[in-house]
Each structure stands twice: as structure tokens, then as C-alpha cells.
Amino acid sequence: MQLIRPEARHLDSYLDALRRGWSADNVRGAVAAAEELQAITGDPQGFLSSTEDREAKGPVVKLPDGTTVARIPGFKRWLWDTEFCGSINFRWQPGTTELPPHCLGHIGYTVVPWKRGKGFAKQALAALLPEAWALGLPFVELTTDPANIASQRVITANGGVLHEEFIKPAQFGSKPGVRYRIYRNAA
């Protein structure tokens, strides 16, 4: 498995995952997948360009409750073996480790169900960390649900330490969450 920057030659495999019911949005799920399918159909190159937005020039971001917020800098990478396996994204605010309250962590990742259990999330996170360090961040934060033991294992395998338990903002259902930090010198 390798991380790749999304390109047109990979798009059919990504579309196949969306059509099979997968979505990178673990809260909005099928609704988010349908929105992405529509965006790709309408403007495939525009969609691909939006996966690398280091200057936050893209459109507003729709939160799970339907509200919208300003975009912050970020980029996506796709997990790839011989086909699309999942995605990992990184977002940040220049000059600070702080994130807006609606942004629960610097990094989010997901693996398609038919590729889980192969260590791809662990590999993807390890491969992405050097890009975070290149931006000068001393640590990155990742959040997950308290019951998501698989995700917690991915994070701790990459040097993550539990930072806090918290309640997610109302836009995310005011549910419990756990926040981990991976420090630059731990990775």
C-alpha cells in the first residue's frame, strides 16, 4: 500500500468505492458520498484539484448538522495498492497547532471495508506524518470515538498518546470523543 495524490487515472476506482457505499465522512455517510459523486460527475478535474487546498481557497465545509464553516488549509491522499483502499486527510492553520472548534483533529483517515484488517490505516498514518512535520507542527491531534479500538490502535502504533476525553461540539451530536496527540519526536 502506498499513499498517492489523487489523479484522474485513479478516479474510476474511487468512484467504484463511493458507488459501493463507502464514504470518507463517517458521520454523513451516504449523503456525503452522493454529494461527492455529483461533484465528480459535474467537474472531475475540479474535484481532483480540491483534494490539494493548502491555501483554503475551496468552498465552505458542510458539517454533519448541515451548517457550513470556512475551509482551512488541507490536503488528501488516497491509500492505494492496485486500487483505491481509503483516504487520509490533513488540515491545519498556519502558524499554530490550534484548530477551529468544528475541526476535531489535524488528521482523519478511513479504509474501505473490503480492505480493512491489512494494516493500511497504520501505514497511511505513518506515511503522512512527515508531511505534517514538514509544516513545522510539534504535534498533531487525532480524535476518535471511545469505542473505536481499531482506530486507537492505529494512532498508538504511530506514537499517539491519549490527550483528553471530551464531548464533541453540537454539530457532531454532543457525543463523547477521545483526542490523541502524536508528537514530532515520537514518530
Rounded-to-integer distance, Cα 147 and Cα 187, Å: 24
Domain tally, the chain:
1
Q: Are 75 and 92 in contact (CB under 8 A)?
A: no
Q: In terms of pTM, does the model score above 0.85? A: yes
Rounded-to-integer distance, Cα 26 and Cα 30, Å: 9
Residue 116 has which C-alpha cell?
480493512
- Which residues form the domain of 16? 2-186
> Cβ-count burial of 18 within 10 angstroms (0-12 exposed, 13-18 middle, 19+ buried)?
buried
Rounded-to-integer distance, Cα 177 and Cα 148, Å: 10
**pLDDT the model gives residue 17:** 95
CA-to-CA dists, residue 104 to 98, 101, 176, angstroms = 10, 7, 12
> Cβ-count burial of 81 within 10 angstroms (0-12 exposed, 13-18 middle, 19+ buried)?
exposed
Per-residue pLDDT of the chain (187 residues; tens, 9 = 90+): 999 999 999 999 999 999 998 988 877 778 888 888 999 999 999 999 999 999 999 888 888 788 889 999 999 999 999 999 999 999 999 999 999 988 999 999 999 999 999 999 999 999 999 999 999 999 999 999 999 999 999 999 999 999 999 999 988 889 999 999 999 986 5
- CATH code at 160? 3.40.630.30
> Cβ-count burial of 20 within 10 angstroms (0-12 exposed, 13-18 middle, 19+ buried)?
exposed
**pLDDT the model gives residue 63:** 80
**pLDDT the model gives residue 44:** 96
**pLDDT the model gives residue 71:** 93
**pLDDT the model gives residue 51:** 94
